[in-house]
Amino acid sequence: MPSLRDLLKRVLVGRALHSDRLHETLLPKRVALPVFASDALSSVAYAPQEILLTLSAAGLAAYHFSPWVGLAVVVVMLIVVTSYRQNVRAYPSGGGDYEVATVNLGPNAGLTVASALLVDYVLTVAVSVSSGADYVASRVDLVQDHKIGFAVSIVALLTLMNLRGVRESGTAFAIPTYAFMIGVFALIAWGFTRVGVFGDELRAPSAGYTVLPHEGYESLTGLALAFLVLRAFSSGCAALTGVEAISNGVPAFRKPKSRNAATTLLLLGLIAVTMFAGVLALGRISDTRFAEDASHLIGPDGKPVAAQDPIIAQVSAAVFGDQTLGFTYVTVATALILFLAANTAFNGFPVLGSILARDGYLPRQLHTRGDRLAFSNGIVLLAGFACLLIYAFRADVTRLIQLYIIGVFVSFTLSQTGMVRHWTRLLRTETDPRTRRDMMRSRVINAVGLTCTGLVLVIVLLTKFTKGAWIVCVAMPIIFFIMRAIRKHYERVRAELAVDETDDEAMLPARNHGIVLVSKIHKPTLRALTYARASRPTSLEAITVNVDPGETRALQAEWDRLDIPVPLKVLDSPFREVTRPIVDYVKSIRRSSPRDVITVYIPEYVVGRWWEQLLHNQSALRLKGRLLFTPGVMVTNVPFQLRSSARAADRPEAPAAGAVRRGERSGSNRSGSGGGEPS
């Protein structure tokens, strides 16, 4: 019968899929759009808000810069989307920015991009979920009091959904994403209809509030004002996050992969730009007020407001009316899309982690697909880091967003640099005039993208560094050097394990000394002795450690009485140790005969219950751990199944790491074995 753990796993994650069903997990465009675009689309809920929030530091007068800041963000987004359409056509393998930078700029540039993207994916989950928690908390007091726990629980739910597979999670998340798109487009259409056709005046709930400038910001002019506007622009550029996810996820698309990915990217750009510009414009038309600190908002009664609603909620109230069906629909859909925006990272991070693991820069476990053909280890790793960030920053979007977009613009800039070099390299050998024209056009597009994203990166670094972005600037080099260290470790191990004709490992040992460990005479000991004799070592002896002289004498007497045809050697232990005398004895044999091999046979109990493992095999586990570090020593466990082991033997084997990827439908029956004979 399957264990409770196995049943629970099947209910939550689903049945394991065979490798030949990988094609069934590929995504059509209608599903790929919500899977990969939810991050960029969800930024509509907070990017316009961050622009107003930043400008509010100088008071209400600075709000008139918001349309120009928004226009600059829209231009950058269109340029980046157009540039990345060249990327997905040129590099459809799924490496995205990492592959582009590695191939064209070298491994160090590729690792820089990878470290930037890994950080940005984690921040995407933390920012999106925290922002969604803000929306829910504005309506539910219980969530307001437990926002961190609520956000962490949402990350756990998203993790579970993604462990069920890309196709299944994408289908589940498609409906809320399309619902959000419909809601925002309806909001924009009805809002402009009321203003342009009916001549109605839209007023947000905060329209009558006064915005107090921060201390020292009362009369900004010149460079100080320009710096504030640039800071607002850098915060608004959060709308661009998620664009790179499609270039990393091209393998998840149905064929023709590149064309479908490029089409999805174009749709993403047009939809996101329209929604972002529409919400920001309606926010200005309805006189929406938003401040970094609610205490800087003064209500009609002359007192600071206790709390402020997010921009989508305020615009919805102005267009549809507060607490109406349209208002409720938009706010609920917004909360859902903010939670689901993290799904973009849950698709991008594991794929990138798998590629890095394939190249030896991350642990190889990240390259293994799980039961549902998703990169399960990467999904769990992403969730863990995101939860740490949520807890460390108390699920505060304003604090988290200062860390945001640094990584993505680093990857944007290096990727576009790599694409310019890519087209330049191909143009050197291409002779067909039509193909050359296409390449030159693509190079111009990527060159414009490089100029634009490089400029934005400089602005973001200058305006956000002291606000918390320095943390990312520290984290990225740390991740970079960790990945370099992992690669060097794998290279050292590979060199150490490489076969050399002169290696002693290829030579037969002169002799094989067999040693059977004995603590008492019982069935496991007799089985180990029988197996050792059947192995026919050059010499064979049994050893026991004299911890209690009385028990040792009784053991020797019983050994002689049974006339066991293997000599028993007693090792003295004045300090009642078991492990050290055996290890020292084995090492002494090894020193006297360096070309010989020593095989140590350890009887072990095989048990079926986890708590039984705690009661048996512990001293032998410690001994085996020590012997494994001794060159020329082989450790052989000889199992003896207790009756309780039948419980474990009847359970179906959970697929081992990589089993599904290798096409193994099921494993052999597993045992609840431990590590050796009980003491």
Instruction: Give the per-residue pLDDT at 645.
Output: 75
User: pLDDT: is 158 or 609 the higher one?
Assistant: 158
pLDDT digits (tens, 9 = 90+) for 24-58: 456 777 877 877 777 778 888 778 888 988 888 88
- Residue 669 domain-assigned (yes or no): no
Q: Give mean pLDDT, residues 334-338.
A: 84
pLDDT digits (tens, 9 = 90+) for 437-484: 999 999 999 999 999 999 989 988 888 888 788 899 999 999 999 999
Do 453 and 577 lie in one domain? The reply is no
Do 311 and 263 lie in one domain? The reply is yes
pLDDT of 331 above 70:
yes
pLDDT of 17 above 70:
no
Give the count of domains, the chain: 2
Instruction: Give the per-residue pLDDT at 447.
Output: 94
- The tokens 């608004």 sit on which residue? 236
Q: What is the pTM of this model?
A: 0.74
Do 268 and 376 lie in one domain? The reply is yes
Q: Which of 520, 568, 522 is nearest to 542 (CA)?
A: 568
Residue ranges making up the domain that contains 523: 509-662
Do 360 and 261 lie in one domain? The reply is yes
Rg of the chain on CA atoms, in Å: 32
pLDDT of 132 above 90:
no
Token duo for residue 203: 């007023």
pLDDT of 671 above 80:
no
pLDDT of 65 above 80:
yes
- The single-letter code of the amino acid at 453 is T
Do 155 and 297 lie in one domain? The reply is yes
Percent of the chain that is helix, strand, coil (3-state, to 5): 65, 5, 25
Which CATH number fits the domain that encloses residue 206? 1.20.1740.10
Q: Which long-range contacts (CB under 8 A, 24 or more apart) does 322-326 make?
A: 322/205, 326/186, 326/187, 326/190
Do 38 and 145 lie in one domain? The reply is yes
pLDDT classification of 504: cutoffs 50, 70, 90: low
Do 445 and 516 lie in one domain? The reply is no
Q: Which of 267, 226, 270 is nearest to 246 (CA)?
A: 267
- Does the CA dihedral 59-65-71-73 come out positive or negative? negative
Do 443 and 534 lie in one domain? The reply is no
Q: Residue 674: is it exposed, middle or buried by C-beta count within 10 angstroms (0-12/13-18/19+)?
A: buried
Instruction: Give the per-residue pLDDT at 270.
Output: 92
Q: Give mean pLDDT, residues 92-114.
A: 88
Instruction: Give the per-residue pLDDT at 369.
Output: 73
Query: Which of residues 432, 459, 490 is at a domain's end?
Result: 490
pLDDT digits (tens, 9 = 90+) for 409-422: 899 899 999 999 99
- Does the CA dihedral 462-464-469-470 come out positive or negative? positive
Calculate ∠ Cα 540-542-548, nearest 5°.
165
- Residue 670 domain-assigned (yes or no): no
User: pLDDT: is 31 or 676 the higher one?
Assistant: 31
- The tokens 């905060």 sit on which residue? 206
Do 645 and 514 lie in one domain? The reply is yes
540: helix, strand or coil = strand
Q: Return d(Cα 224, Cα 79) in angstroms, integer.
A: 28
Instruction: Give the per-residue pLDDT at 168.
Output: 54
Residue 428 and residue 55 in contact, taking contact as beta carbons nearer than 8 Å: no
Q: Which residues contact 202 (CB under 8 A, 6 or more apart)?
A: 191, 194, 195, 282, 285, 286, 318, 319
Q: Which of 304, 278, 275, 272 is nearest to 289 (CA)?
A: 304
Mean pLDDT of the chain: 83
Q: Give mean pLDDT, residues 513-539.
A: 92
- The tokens 């067999």 sit on which residue? 514
Which CATH number fits the domain that encloses residue 635? 3.40.50
Q: Give mean pLDDT, residues 508-515.
A: 83
Percent of the chain with pLDDT over 90: 36
Q: Return d(Cα 422, Cα 109) in angstroms, integer.
A: 14
Instruction: Give the per-residue pLDDT at 341.
Output: 79
- The single-letter code of the amino acid at 537 is P
Q: Residue 54: is it exposed, middle or buried by C-beta count within 10 angstroms (0-12/13-18/19+)?
A: buried
Q: Give mean pLDDT, residues 275-286.
A: 94
pLDDT of 620 above 80:
no
Do 207 and 290 lie in one domain? The reply is yes
pLDDT of 72 above 90:
yes
pLDDT classification of 570: cutoffs 50, 70, 90: very high
Do 485 and 591 lie in one domain? The reply is no
Do 479 and 524 lie in one domain? The reply is no
DSSP-derived secondary structure letter, 509: P
Q: Give mean pLDDT, residues 619-627.
A: 83
pLDDT digits (tens, 9 = 90+) for 347-388: 788 888 988 999 999 998 888 776 555 678 888 999 999 999
Instruction: Give the per-residue pLDDT at 484.
Output: 95
